[in-house]
Amino acid sequence: MPSALRLADPRVPIPDVHPPYVPAASAGFPVAENLCRVLVNAAVNDDYRLMVAAAPAAALAARPGQFFHLACPPSGEDRPFLRRPMSIHAVDPAAGTITFLYKVQGAGTRGLATLAPGDRLDAFGPLGHGFAAPEGRRHLLMLARGVGLATLAPQAEAVAAAGGRVTAVLSARARDLVMAEDRLAACGCDTLVVTDTDGTSAVEALRARIAAIHAERPFDAIVTCGSDRLMRLARDFARAWGVPGEVALEQHMACAVGLCHACVRPFVDAAGETSYRRVCWDGPVFPIEEATSWSI
Ligand SMILES: Cc1cc2nc3c(=O)[nH]c(=O)nc-3n(C[C@H](O)[C@H](O)[C@H](O)COP(=O)(O)OP(=O)(O)OC[C@H]3O[C@@H](n4cnc5c(N)ncnc54)[C@H](O)[C@@H]3O)c2cc1C
């Protein structure tokens, strides 16, 4: 095995005191290669796992919508060379922990799934631009599908903590794949679970239900992640209601710091001008008005 891969093996013991990477604040660039220690890495259902890791201070500055680029250990025949981007699902500065909720999909996430308590997690970040400040939101509509829940839950929680109301639509293939429902309910969010299996996740049905909620208690902001169809629905609402909308985009990426341009996507501004932006560096959260979907 090449030495670089051996170095990335998380089972190499790490010292209690993190090595003196010079991150962040001192260089005016608040991004560091954070050597974290895995505390929990457990399945929450057939598809998703929750990983909690003790993290150094630089990592605890992560804001909702930001992400870390995670080094993924080898597993089986897999040798994931590139890091994999993962949204911050929770940050607990008091406990000194960061949390990720991830779907096991391919080589990278299969490797992450092998990490055991005590192993090292190499998390580069926090990266990217997160959601707008939660203060001042009166009623946030959150439209999340699948893995989008991982990304949106912290913003919903932040808006609720700032005194805003949140209606969180949690969409999934089936009931047992719905996550974060208890966490959102516990912070006072109104949750609306919709699934493919019972037919409630169909966009037109959802459109009518949300419009009815809006008529009673108007939304003044929208966030969405995890589904192209929900992104288009959110954009329709943002236009119709004249409220700001934000989408957190997911795109395969390599460097995550804006250099390689692997994650460029097209955007169209209000004047109809097309521009090309890097999801890692210019986002991953973008104004929904400007984001283009895969189908339009
Ligand atoms: C900012 C950001 C935040 C994210 N946050 C989360 C999160 O919180 N939780 C989470 O579970 N995931 C999240 N993701 C997605 C996550 O990064 C990917 O699921 C992960 O990189 C998959 O890696 P893998 O090696 O396991 O799978 P891969 O082997 O990379 O493949 C996963 C799937 O994508 C397909 N695929 C591979 N390459 C491409 C390509 N170039 N274009 C299209 N499809 C391709 C594969 O066929 C496979 O079906 C996030 C992505 C971004 C950009």
CA 63 – CA 30 distance, rounded (Å): 12
Q: Is 224 in the pocket of ligand 1 (CB under 6 A)?
A: no
The sign of the torsion formed by the CA atoms of 121, 125, 126, 130 equals negative
More confident residue, 128 or 17: 128
Q: Two tokens at 153?
A: 């839950």
Name which residue sits closest to atom 53 of ligand 1, judged by CA: 250
The pTM of this model reads 0.89
CA 123 – CA 109 distance, rounded (Å): 14
Q: Is 278 in the pocket of ligand 1 (CB under 6 A)?
A: no
pLDDT, tens only, 189-210: 999 999 999 999 999 999 999 9
Query: Average model confidence (pLDDT) for the chain?
Result: 90
Q: Is 206 in the pocket of ligand 1 (CB under 6 A)?
A: no
Band (294; pLDDT cuts 50, 70, 90):
low
Yes or no: is domain 3-127 CATH 2.40.30.10? yes
Q: Label residues 82-104 b or e (16+ Cβ within 10 Å = b).
A: bbbbbbbbbbeeeebbbbbbbee
Residues of the chain with CATH 3.40.50.80: 139-287
| Residue of 276, 281, 252, 258 whose CA lies nearest to 266 | 276
Name which residue sits closest to atom 47 of ligand 1, judged by CA: 106
Q: Is 51 in the pocket of ligand 1 (CB under 6 A)?
A: no
Supply φ then ψ for residue 63, to 5 degrees: -110, 155
pLDDT, tens only, 147-167: 899 999 999 999 999 999 999
Q: Two tokens at 207?
A: 């459109």
Q: Is 83 in the pocket of ligand 1 (CB under 6 A)?
A: no
Are residues 138 and 53 in contact, defined by beta-carbon separation less than 8 angstroms? no
Residue range 74-90: mean pLDDT, rounded: 95
**Helix (H, G, I), strand (E, B), or coil: what is residue 127?**
strand
Q: Is 127 in the pocket of ligand 1 (CB under 6 A)?
A: no
Q: Is 107 in the pocket of ligand 1 (CB under 6 A)?
A: yes
Band (22; pLDDT cuts 50, 70, 90):
very low
pLDDT value for 10: 54
Residues of the chain with CATH 2.40.30.10: 3-127
Which one of 87, 98, 129, 278 would you pick to mutate in the ligand 1 pocket, going by the greatest count of ligand atoms within 8 A of its CB?
87
Closest ligand 1 atom, CA of 80? 25
The percentage of residues in the chain with a pLDDT greater than 90, rounded to a whole number, is 85
Band (18; pLDDT cuts 50, 70, 90):
very low
pLDDT value for 11: 54
pLDDT value for 24: 43
Which one of 88, 252, 260, 261 would you pick to mutate in the ligand 1 pocket, going by the greatest count of ligand atoms within 8 A of its CB?
252
> Is the predicted pLDDT of residue 101 greater than 70, yes or no?
yes
pLDDT value for 1: 40
Band (295; pLDDT cuts 50, 70, 90):
low
Domain 139-287 is of which CATH architecture? 3-Layer(aba) Sandwich (3.40)
The percentage of residues in the chain with a pLDDT greater than 70, rounded to a whole number, is 89
Closest ligand 1 atom, CA of 280? 1
